[in-house]
A and B are shown apart, each in its own frame.
Chain A
């Protein structure tokens, strides 16, 4: 599914935009001008990576300093153990679009438990 996220002009370099879908997705505009989209929730514990620290192609979780590679979603520093999903990004007519991954997300245990609780 293709989702419009925000205007490219509204997302300066070094900033992140959080797309409030379920689960939320974050769009990052790196200092080098690249744009990436990954799942917003740290896989270790409930925290928004859009609130984290962006450095190069890496984002550091604002709570417990786990690091994720924006290009692959891989964990570069613990305590997180599982990667975040990456999503395809397209910019058209000045708007950033995100094509959501069809993989299952790696949500932290607390949120996974809550979602499982909501289903039953």
Chain B
């Protein structure tokens, strides 16, 4: 293999580039990124960066002395994949031909229909999004967060600490139920009301009102929530439009095996755009977690360099963390597979629990709130047991 193109310059793309070099790939390496920035870390965008306690330099993922001997094509959006020519087409008309490809184009924040062009309405996914939101939060006022998932909850927590008046609106009866299950979802989202942040559940958003700038969120029950700033945190969709018609199988992202291989030889997919086969669950799964974007590219790169001859290992159970209102929340595994959840340590009232999810008596997931030591032990246990 003489040229490898990594399409996407965030954590998954950088991890793939690092793995290529670490595994001895010595050929030409091209990294294509649609943002103008060098690889940066996203988790702090909704927390420390938004709060202003760390700056842009702290977000850099590369170390000062790191040299991947890569050609960086930044600010270049991939618009198409030419299967016959084995080339990625870029928005500026250029083409990058390669033998091997790592698809790492990530996911984009979903937006609300009709919110276009209304000032004061934000999503949070990129560094530029975070800069814009940080500047507005600094002015204070009433913030309405649409969506009680992890991004929404972290923004609410950060804005509360900055002194804003915050309301969170969640269409489901319990926030976080999809990832944590209803019982623990309700306990974790109780952190909002503990701090006087209003939480309105079970009601959908009808639209936004405002002339040039948003002034309220209109709800489906006919009520209105006044707003100076609105953050829409209603999930993300994989950025794979550019692959349509390429012959690479797509279904909620790039369909790939447990080793990241796509339906086309010499092409692997990693990170948020990849819909990996999960042998544990027996189905494909798109997991939008930092840890997966950091760890899985190595398996995909191994498959790419060996032309699929390497043995895919069983991936570790998905792991993610969140920081809200000073509480460290950690989760590993799949809550949906559980038929029971029990609190093993701590107390839900004090918001410091270690809860274990089980299926037929066997642990399948673990949740920690301010329990890092116990959580670490359970997470390792899960990796071995599952």
Write the residues of chain A forming the contact surface with B, with a CB cutoff of 8 angstroms: 47-48, 50-53, 60, 62-65, 78-79, 81, 109-110, 113-114
Give, as a whole number of angstroms, the nearest-CB distance from B29 to chain A: 18
Contact status of A78 and B61, CB under 8 A, knowing A62-B372, A113-B54: yes
Chain B interface residue count: which class?
20 to 34
B41 at the interface (CB under 8 A from A): yes
B380 at the interface (CB under 8 A from A): yes
Give, as a whole number of angstroms, the nearest-CB distance from B346 to chain A: 15
Decide: A110 and B54 in contact? CB cutoff 8 A: yes
Decide: A109 and B53 in contact? CB cutoff 8 A: yes
Chain A hits for B58, CB < 8 A: 109
What are 18 sample pairs from A and B whose C-beta atoms fall under 8 A apart?
Answer: A48-B372, A51-B376, A52-B376, A60-B376, A62-B372, A62-B373, A62-B376, A63-B328, A63-B372, A64-B291, A64-B321, A78-B61, A79-B61, A81-B64, A109-B54, A109-B58, A110-B53, A113-B54
Q: Which residue in chain B gives the minimum CB-CB distance to A55? A: B380
Chain B hits for A81, CB < 8 A: 63-64
CA separation between A53 and B374, bound complex, in Å? 10
Write the residues of chain B forming the contact surface with A, with a CB cutoff of 8 angstroms: 41, 48, 53-55, 58, 61, 63-64, 290-291, 294-295, 321, 328, 330, 372-373, 375-377, 380
CA separation between A114 and B377, bound complex, in Å? 30
The one of A52, A62, A78, A110 in contact with B48, judged by C-beta atoms closer than 8 angstroms, is: A110
Give, as a whole number of angstroms, the nearest-CB distance from A33 to chain B: 21
Decide: B54 and A47 in contact? CB cutoff 8 A: no
Give, as a whole number of angstroms, the nearest-CB distance from B10 to chain A: 13
Q: Which residue in chain B gives the minimum CB-CB distance to A52? A: B376
Chain B hits for A78, CB < 8 A: 61, 294
Give, as a whole number of angstroms, the nearest-CB distance from B269 to chain A: 21
Give, as a whole number of angstroms, the nearest-CB distance from B80 to chain A: 32
Contact status of A62 and B291, CB under 8 A, knowing A78-B61, A110-B54: no
Q: Which residue in chain A gives the minimum CB-CB distance to B58? A: A109
Known pairs A64-B291, A79-B294, A109-B48; list 15 more (Cβ under 8 Å).
A51-B376, A52-B376, A60-B376, A63-B330, A64-B290, A64-B321, A65-B295, A78-B294, A79-B61, A81-B63, A109-B53, A109-B55, A110-B48, A113-B53, A113-B54
CA separation between A53 and B382, bound complex, in Å? 14
Chain A hits for B380, CB < 8 A: 53
Chain B hits for A79, CB < 8 A: 41, 61, 294
Decide: A51 and B291 in contact? CB cutoff 8 A: no
Chain B hits for A63, CB < 8 A: 321, 328, 330, 372
Decide: A47 and B372 in contact? CB cutoff 8 A: yes
Chain A hits for B290, CB < 8 A: 64
Q: Which residue in chain B gives the minimum CB-CB distance to A47? A: B372
Q: Which residue in chain B gives the minimum CB-CB distance to A63? A: B321
Minimum-distance CB pairs A-B, first 3: A51-B373, A62-B372, A109-B58
Chain B hits for A64, CB < 8 A: 290-291, 321
Give, as a whole number of angstroms, the nearest-CB distance from A43 to chain B: 11
Chain B hits for A47, CB < 8 A: 372
Chain B hits for A50, CB < 8 A: 373
Chain A hits for B321, CB < 8 A: 63-64
Give, as a whole number of angstroms, the nearest-CB distance from A84 to chain B: 15
Q: Which residue in chain A gives the minimum CB-CB distance to B374? A: A51
CA separation between A110 and B295, bound complex, in Å? 25
CA separation between A47 and B376, bound complex, in Å? 12
CA separation between A71 and B295, bound complex, in Å? 25
CA separation between A98 and B58, bound complex, in Å? 31
Give, as a whole number of angstroms, the nearest-CB distance from B61 to chain A: 7
Give, as a whole number of angstroms, the nearest-CB distance from B201 to chain A: 29
Give, as a whole number of angstroms, the nearest-CB distance from A80 to chain B: 10
Chain B hits for A62, CB < 8 A: 372-373, 375-376
Chain B hits for A51, CB < 8 A: 372-373, 376
Contact status of A53 and B376, CB under 8 A, knowing A109-B58, A113-B54: yes
Chain B hits for A110, CB < 8 A: 48, 53-54
Chain A hits for B53, CB < 8 A: 109-110, 113-114
Q: Which residue in chain A gives the minimum CB-CB distance to B44? A: A45
CA separation between A113 and B57, bound complex, in Å? 13
Chain A hits for B376, CB < 8 A: 51-53, 60, 62
Chain B hits for A60, CB < 8 A: 376
CA separation between A64 and B322, bound complex, in Å? 11
Q: Pick from B64, B328, B376 the residue with the most CB of A within 10 Å.
A: B376
Give, as a whole number of angstroms, the nearest-CB distance from B317 to chain A: 13
